[in-house]
Chain A
């Protein structure tokens, strides 16, 4: 009697696991792009170690040998390419990483240990000076407006990220909107300024109209020109 045992069919167990793969999208010239990779590696040598890397070649048109060379130069840098996408299959040789399709984009977020940091106080957006600003003093406030209740002496300067308001006489220099805020303005009760500047455009004392002197005035930018007009 023949006893035959039917081979029991082993079930192939499939388990799913997903990894977030870095996608490298080389751009021409490849040499410069590699130099950028080198710069990243110089900052943190172990950054790509053990991470799946996918090469997306859709942005470049490379020949088979060029692809082989690129993969080679990446592995020289200890970067192992898991798969290649964005290229026809026939350009890939047998010893190259396989072609991948169907990748979905995702945002890489770096998980950092959450520390219970006290909420930083919001920085003040204006600076109030109750005393006159004397010759030789320099007030720099990049965060916003500066208001001076007294005068700004000749030889003093005020540098503000926002507008400048002076309720006394402006005899020194006033520079408003220094970090590119062209909407900033300068106001003063009496203008005898040595220099007015808004967002890099400036006028010196000589260029300011004599008729404006000793009067309340404001200065603002209209395109590339600085306008100074009397207030009221």
Chain B
């Protein structure tokens, strides 16, 4: 049974695209057939993070408008044969997406893939509502900062009212993914802690991705972080999150502050 999952957030720049690519790759690595769809029309970034920017010929809008057929627009990943990308267009108007058109494309994708991951644009505009419209599940990406958490709260409210499932009286299953979590800063009280975020959002936690240089490195070479260095802390957190999406019980790892020997020594001396 195909699942449509939207990766969304209220605030921009929290790591939706990185998370879509990482989760998509992790799901594909475990044998599922996955397509990641870039709904951020007008800005288009998922192809860069997936390292497929030079292979884009047709895009989502072409398919929605019927100019191209779906197989013409789908790009297969070079590293994983069951991972596909449906890119967005930078040149088109962001209003070119239509409700029926998106519904048709999603229905067609559902017959081909196990997972359809929709990378939503930020905010509450039409693009974001269209990306979440046909979702069965949602991953709400949030940073440990108040503005991001409050906007996520608003997005959760929209998932409960503006999706096809909500209109039919069903539920969209929701998960919170906390990214850019810095344990040292959280310990110093410079960031919201996990409990506060979950208390505000009242939504189950999918995973905590630690702040790491590995994420930036991976996206700059155009590889999902889970493929670039599967042993890094963020990659392991994303792989755990993808296993939770598939229904496995995986213990939650809260990133802890790693103190080197020298650090500890210096810390003691300072105290």
Residues of B within 8 A of A132 (CB): 202
- Per-residue CB proximity of B188-208 to A under 8 Å, as 1/0? 000000000001101000000
Q: Is B211 positioned at the interface, with any CB of A under 8 Å from its CB?
A: no
Q: How many A-B residue pairs have CB under 8 A?
A: 37
Q: Is A232 positioned at the interface, with any CB of B under 8 Å from its CB?
A: no
* Residue ID in chain B nearest A190 by CB atoms: B199
Residues of B within 8 A of A135 (CB): 150-151, 153-154, 157
Residues of B within 8 A of A171 (CB): 200
Residues of A within 8 A of B156 (CB): 134
Give bound CA distance, A151 to B196, whole Å: 13
Known contacts A132-B202, A169-B199, A171-B200: A154-B153 contact under CB 8 Å = yes
- Per-residue CB proximity of A167-205 to B under 8 Å, as 1/0? 001010000000000000000000000000000000000
Residue among B153, B154, B156, B157 with the highest chain A CB neighbour number at 10 A: B153
Number of interface residues of B (CB under 8 A): 12
Q: Is A83 positioned at the interface, with any CB of B under 8 Å from its CB?
A: no
Q: Is A78 positioned at the interface, with any CB of B under 8 Å from its CB?
A: no
- Name the 8 nearest CB pairs between A and B, nearest first: A134-B157, A135-B153, A135-B154, A136-B154, A153-B153, A132-B202, A134-B153, A137-B157
Question: 28 A-B Cβ contacts within 8 A?
Answer: A132-B202, A134-B153, A134-B154, A134-B156, A134-B157, A134-B160, A135-B150, A135-B151, A135-B153, A135-B154, A135-B157, A136-B124, A136-B153, A136-B154, A136-B158, A137-B157, A150-B202, A151-B202, A153-B150, A153-B153, A153-B154, A153-B157, A153-B200, A154-B150, A154-B153, A154-B200, A155-B150, A155-B154
